[in-house]
Amino acid sequence: MESTAENNQNTPQDPQQKHPQPPYPEQKQEVPGTESELQPKADHGEKSYRGSGKLTGRKAIITGGDSGIGRAVAIAFAREGADVLISYLNEHEDARETAKYIEEAGQKAVLVPGDVSEEAHCKTIIQRAVEEFGQIDILVNNAAFQMARESLEEIPSEEWDYTFRTNIYAMFHLCKAAKPHMRPGSTIINTTSVNAYRPKPILVAYAATKGAIQNFTASLGQLLAEDGIRVNCVAPGPIWTPLIPSTMPEEDVQTFGKNTPMKRAGQPAELAAVYVLLASEDSSYMTASTVQVTGGTPTI
């Protein structure tokens, strides 16, 4: 089942028919999942995204940049003229594939594996970016962990703690370490979720962190305004990434996105332009804001 999208992001298309609709094939992956096993393959804008120099000369960090939304953002940023550091857990093959696209766009790619749930590693990411780039203009806090659980009793305390350390603690540590290296005009972009507004009962820990990210962004955007640093977030709906078959029940994977007005899961490529907007001067009067990309699911 392949995407029907043409290789031109400017060609108008029926949004319901633009990408594959459920049911999706039966599949299960080990956490955190890999792009090579995902069926149908996700669209990260490899063939469709065309840059126009919006981020020329910028230096960006993207956590969770090896696959999914992070890969789509990395491709877009590079094609807009940015050098990109990719932080990822241990998906080395996916990370190298993303780096290939960055380098094909003529930009520098830096790969930093490790666990962002650890404060020391967050500091290492920032230090490495400064060593490689000399500055930090864009920080995209995108890495996340989730695990579906059918009951409260099934959630291990260690998993609850790890979810919060990965999804929200890491943002605090990364932002705090990066701020001294960010000039006025720099931007921070956090990935929240439609679950901040419509939390799923099987994603109690994940949804709680996404609500926290929402408020963290709103507070930090106000706090850093006097420093000339803008902070915004993106709230995706159901997006087709390796995270889904590696963490969700198989029956939910097959129908993923069906309940949205678009009747399908979104593709990572459909979020990339929003991150470019928030990273560029086109959003110079936006801070403490959230952009929803939910396939039509209301967030109000």
HEC secondary structure over the chain: CCCCCCCCCCCCCCCCCCCCCCCCCCCCCCCCCCHHHCCCCCCCCCCCCCCCCCCCCCEEEEECCCCHHHHHHHHHHHHCCCEEEEEECCCHHHHHHHHHHHHHCCCCEEEEECCCCCHHHHHHHHHHHHHHHCCCCEEEECCCCCCCCCCHHHCCHHHHHHHHHHHHHHHHHHHHHHHHHCCCCCEEEEECCHHHCCCCHHHHHHHHHHHHHHHHHHHHHHHCHHHCCEEEEEEECCECCCHHHHHCCHHHHHCCCCCCCCCCCECCHHHHHHHHHHHCHHHCCCCCCEEEECCCCCCC
Cα dihedral angle (125, 131, 135, 136), rounded to 10 degrees? -10
**Cβ–Cβ < 8 Å for 288, 189:** no
Amino acid identity for residue 85 in this structure: L
Question: Which of the residues 49, 88, 101, 206 is marked catalytic?
Answer: 206
24 is annotated as an active-site residue = no
Nearest alpha-carbon partner for 210 in 194, 230, 232: 194
* 241: its two tokens: 């990434």
Residues marked as catalytic: 206
